[in-house]
Amino acid sequence: QVQLVESGGGLVQSGNSLRLSCVLSGMALDVFAIGWFRQAPGKGREGVSCIGPSDGVTHYNNSIEDRFTISRDNSKNTVSLKINNLQPGDSAIYYCAAQSWYSGTYCSLQRLWYSYWGQGTHVNVSS
């Protein structure tokens, strides 16, 4: 059974950085595309970034500045999301999601494409 566990969130001051981690268990990570999503209070869940299996194609939400960097380490079954220069608008619950994909490199920022979800990690940015 595939399980995802996020970590790395917390309360931080504006301008600081965080690295969020998503660990997948139950199968090898290299057959999964991974997406990071976030949901702020009172808002819908939006795709932030995603990374394809193995060779790691990446996509970022067009509305998100280049403060976000996604990466994967298949040997550790871990995908990371680095967020620099955090702003209060980044405050949200951050979720990772996984979808197995065997047809080349691909990932999606659409939440409905993903089959597996973690429980989320809270990021709270103070001004």
- Tokens found for residue 115: 């089959």
- Residue 96: C-alpha distances to residues 4, 22, 49, 63 (Å): 7, 6, 10, 19
Q: Say whether pLDDT at 18 is over 80.
A: yes
Tell me the torsion sign for CA atoms 117, 77, 86, 123.
positive
* pLDDT tens profile 39-91: 999 999 999 999 999 766 999 999 887 999 999 999 999 999 999 999 999 99
Q: Output 94 or 62, whichever has higher pLDDT.
A: 94
Return the pLDDT at 104.
81
